A and B are shown apart, each in its own frame.
Chain A
Amino acid sequence: MIPAAFEYYRPQDMAGVLAILGEHGDDARVMAGGHSLIPMMKLRMADVPHLIDLQDVGGMSDIVVGADEIRIGAMVTQADIIDNTELRSAAPILREAALQIADPQVRYMGTVGGNVASGDPGNDMPGLMQCLNTRFTLIGADGEREVDAREFYEAAYMTTREDDEVLTAVIIPTPAGGYAYEKQKRKIGDYATAAAAVQIIKDGDTCTSAAIAMTNLSDTPIYSEAAGAALVGTSVDDAALAAATAAMLNDIDPSEDNRGPIAFKKHVAAVILRRAITRAWSRA
């Protein structure tokens, strides 16, 4: 488990990062917390001749909770999310999810930017961000642009981010209503067997809005619009739960691995989603 030789860079600003990316194209990669990238390099599954460490760049470590939107810098760690009290009240689902990621050691290093940018279908934040209808801010040689999280993921490790772009922040419309992040895993430090992010709004006894995204049940996170739609206008009764889980099952496409065969994963996905919706509804 020794990576191939690489050049290490530690630029002091974004211009420096973009210059190196421009020079080396897809031979260069940025590194945030390194907790996805370094293992891949050690297994020699990622070949990165030029490694650009983002730690000294600055300007990407803030959490700003505004009236309508929350802006989280790409270098904010999962531990930062867990500790931030403003965030805890503005978007409690972020903390609930972050606490279910890996273990404390990993969470001190792993960043929001790295988690959403890497395109690993096992990562929890991409689905979470899709549920929250987040926008990602990317910067490249041609300037800045925003991409919807729901449009960002193409396939495992494939996103709409260009090789020479850096993700600088995620912008989350301040969520409303009830929430739940439910995850089944084999042990601490494991990726999900199935996970569900649910954000739901209740008016009287009726659901007026619901967003649902699933993790590690396809080669990308799955935002299931149909599952959310199945709840809207209902009192989230048994029939609505059944309709929502059925819709979700239509959208996911799990594959067999050591966690179990497809039938099991689908069953668990449905159970997990049911529980997440029920919990979110109880909090709405």
Chain B
Amino acid sequence: MKDEVISRDDRVANLKGMGCSRKRVEDARFTQGKGNYVDDIKLDGMLFGDFVRSPYAHARIKGINAEEALKIPGVLAVLTAEDLAPLGLHWMPTLAGDKQMVLADGKVLFQGQEVAFVVAEDRYAAADGIELVEVDYEELPVIVDPFESLKSDVVLREDLDPNADGAHGPRKHPNHIFTWEAGDKEPTEEVIANADIVAEESMYYHRTHPCPLETCGSVALMDKVNGKLTLWGTFQAPHAIRTIVSLISGIEEHNIRVISPDIGGGFGNKVGAYPGYVCSVVASIVTGRPVKWIEDRMDNLMTTAFARDYWMKGKISATKEGKITGLQCHVTADHGGFDACADPTKFPAGFMNICTGSYDIPTAYLEVDGVYTNKAPGGVSYRCSFRVTEAVYFIERMIEVLAIKLNMDSAELRRINFIKKEQFPYKAALGWEYDSGDYHTAWDKALKTVDYDGLRAEQAQRVEDFKAGKTRKLMGIGLSFFTEIVGAGPVKNCDILGLGMFDSCEIRIHPTGSAIARLGTISQGQGHATTFAQILASEIGLPADSITIEEGDTDTAPYGLGTYGSRSTPVAGAATAMAGRKIRAKAQMIAAYLLEVHDNDVEFDVDRFVVKGAPERFKTMKEIAFAAYNQAIPGLEPGLEAVSYYDPPNMTYPFGAYVCVMDIDVDTGVPEIRRFYALDDCGTRINPMIIEGQVHGGLTEALAVALGQEIAYDDMGNCKTGTLMDFFLPTAWEVPNYETDFTVTPSPHHPIGAKGVGESPHVGGVPCFSNAVQDAFRPFGNTHTNMPHDHWRIWKTANGLGLHD
């Protein structure tokens, strides 16, 4: 046989399996403009819907007059809350246990809120119609500050009973949403009260936005003949959307088909449900024609889910030697007008309780208060697992603040407090059990690679030169060490709307030895079609190039909870490996039959089963696939298919060590990133090239957030950053050269040891960039300044420290 002349190494290489930097199979179509996004969908007779939006942040609606709008040629209907109310669709449930207006029901709570839905023959007529819908607003007092909100007599959510509990327990004030706690309050307070050293800091993690290049949108088609609703949309969780649509519309779930086509980035922005989705469905039901809704950039930035907006107050205590003894954190979380966070049900502040970070902190307490304000709803995990960016920013800033108080090098402070390799699995004070880690090795490698001591010496010299008037540039060294918590998650504690957060994979092997695998996740640019085929290639011995990966169509894909929180590899990737192993188990029986030996006498070897001790006797997986369809094998069903639903036993805990070197022009506030080193440990590495791409992307979004990207409001609740002129989206020009590196500490509970990587660089990157800015000013007395570190805020820091005098 020709096969025999091929070496084992070549057979491994031919599979393009795990560990191979296989080129992304998606890119051929994306780089040629041949992707198929929601807005590419064109159906016969398709209508276009768009929103009349509120110019006010808080106002009562006294009346809506659509008469003039309906006179515009091509405008067919103007839907308002009154039209949706009989169907019970003028409100919808949020993922956070709250409800949200689909169309303004008597009042508006944020600027840009959806007031009426204009349905027209095309988007031009819809835009003209919007101009002519007259809305009579009575302005109400606006609250944009959550602390003020908790003191105010102005009740934002008049629809809620002020005395009734919310979805997460008692509410302290009509504008209060929930209090969520983790850890032990009294013991922590006691430890901190009696500690040698206590450092305190308040920090604001500003509101920002995931801003995917493709905005949100949907196309709904209600086929009245067969009673089926097809809904295409920018959904990071198509199956969950199907269930939600069924629950709120009453259409039976088997009559709903949800399709996520190509998605141009999500970063958390496309997890939740939006009024536009609901309105496109209703409009299709009303008109009997397909209806498309697509946000423009301003709609996206101003109204669909934001991220962060956490006011964090911390205390950290330590011994004189720098051993941390306790940590306390209080968060005032600004959720906007509705609580539309996308977190697992039992975690209204996400996994903020990972805020003890990578450190062995024996006692800790966290308390989060959610608050309503007159801002857009959201609170999604922008390129991170649920609120982990906030948590890691908090602890990595607290470490720096404590280092200042101790007058100690913060690299050393980290080192003496890291959880040790032998402590894993490590049970953290706030409840999580970290699966595996080797922080000291990673940290030492990072510091050595960048010549940390050399950098500190250079920095000291720079400070002297600055003081001597020889330079106006300061040098900052940003450090961060992060532990992510991804792969939500175990069904026992993670669900969304009651749906357990397992995931799934279904594999069909075709007779000629190629395959299709379908998953419950959906790629938004992560390259699933590439990496999942690689996992399978290694598991089932068929080349990745012969395996099609399909996601996003609920009629064909098995049920899953979608892609966000770096959960695809930890959960669906595990399901893929497990389903692959089922295939392999059956293949083993087929091989044994064909080779006329006992099942246990054959073993898997790369792409074949061989008779133990007789390697010349084998059957390739290709041969086995064919046999599955053409042999009557006693005791075995024909065919070669498998399904796996994977409920992970634990989260995975990727980690990493980052260093940023920055020069800061004190006079203009302009920072220049000289060097950025990122060491990531995501466990087993499936495709190193894709990992590197993910790291570059996550770091770039971290740079954006740390150095300027924000959603800002004025006192009247006007959004000041509604276009890309003011909302900072970095280009190649602003982005430094990234040096990437890695260590490998596999997850002990994951079938292939992989941990997920897409979000780590964002989580670790934000504090690293921020720490670099803050570190530059540390020699002049700076302890903390808030992000975003845009030019004027950096300038303000310098100014406040007297560096312009």
Contacts and interface: CB of A to CB of B under 8 A. Distances in A.
Contact of B795 (A4, A44, A268): A268
B667 A187 contact: no
Contacts of A186: 708, 728, 790-791
Contact of A5 (B123, B124, B296): B124
Interface residues of A, number: 23
B128 interface: yes
Given A191-B725, A268-B791, A268-B795, 10 more contacts: A186-B708, A186-B791, A188-B731, A260-B790, A260-B795, A264-B792, A267-B799, A268-B668, A271-B668, A272-B668
Nearest to A122: B725
> DSSP class of A's interface residues: helix, strand, loop or mixed?
loop
8 closest pairs, A vs B, by CB? Answer: A260-B792, A2-B127, A188-B733, A264-B792, A1-B296, A271-B667, A258-B726, A188-B731
Contacts of B298: 1
B728 A184 contact: no
B731 A261 contact: no
A140 to B, nearest CB: 33
Contacts of A44: 131
A184 B791 contact: yes
A4 B796 contact: no
A283 interface: no
User: Max chain A CB contacts within 10 Å: which of B297, B668, B726, B733?
Assistant: B668
Contact of A190 (B123, B131, B725, B804): B725
17 contacts: A2-B128, A187-B731, A187-B733, A187-B734, A188-B733, A188-B734, A190-B725, A193-B791, A258-B712, A258-B721, A258-B726, A259-B792, A260-B790, A260-B792, A264-B792, A268-B795, A271-B667
Q: On chain B, which size bracket covers the interface?
A: 20 to 34
B395 to A, nearest CB: 29
Interface string B709-744: 000100000001100011010110110000000000
Contacts of A268: 667-669, 791, 795
Interface of B: 123-124, 126-128, 131, 296-298, 667-670, 708, 712, 720-721, 725-726, 728, 730-731, 733-734, 790-792, 795-796, 799, 804
A189 B128 CA distance: 30
A187 B728 contact: yes
Contact of B792 (A188, A191, A261, A271): A261
A188 B720 CA distance: 20
A188 B124 CA distance: 31
Interface of A: 1-2, 4-5, 44, 103, 184, 186-191, 193, 258-261, 264, 267-268, 271-272
A267 B794 CA distance: 13
A2 B294 CA distance: 12
Given A1-B298, A184-B668, A259 B791 contact: yes
Contact of A264 (B728, B733, B796): B796
A106 to B, nearest CB: 12
Contacts of A2: 123-124, 126-128
Nearest to B126: A2
Given A103-B731, A188-B734, A259-B791, A267 B667 contact: yes
A252 to B, nearest CB: 16
Contacts of B733: 187-188
A103 B730 CA distance: 13
A249 to B, nearest CB: 14
A264 to B, nearest CB: 4
Nearest to A191: B725
A205 B790 CA distance: 39
Contacts of A267: 667, 795, 799, 804
Nearest to B708: A186
Nearest to A184: B668
Contacts of A188: 731, 733-734
A184 B791 CA distance: 10
A260 B669 CA distance: 11
Contacts of B796: 264
A187 B791 CA distance: 11
B73 to A, nearest CB: 11
A184 B670 contact: yes
A1 B728 CA distance: 20
A9 to B, nearest CB: 19
A190 B734 CA distance: 12
Most chain A CB neighbours (cut-off 10 Å) among B725, B730, B731, B734: B725
A258 B670 CA distance: 15
Contacts of B799: 267
A80 to B, nearest CB: 22
Contacts of A261: 792
A216 to B, nearest CB: 13
Contacts of A4: 128, 131
B731 A264 contact: no
Contacts of A191: 725
Contacts of B126: 2
A2 to B, nearest CB: 4
Nearest to A185: B791
Contacts of B712: 258
A4, A188, A258: most-surrounded residue (chain B CB, <10 A): A258
Q: Which of A1, A4, A191 has the most CB of B within 10 A?
A: A1
Contacts of B725: 189-191
Contacts of A190: 725
A278 to B, nearest CB: 13
B565 to A, nearest CB: 29
A184 B790 CA distance: 12
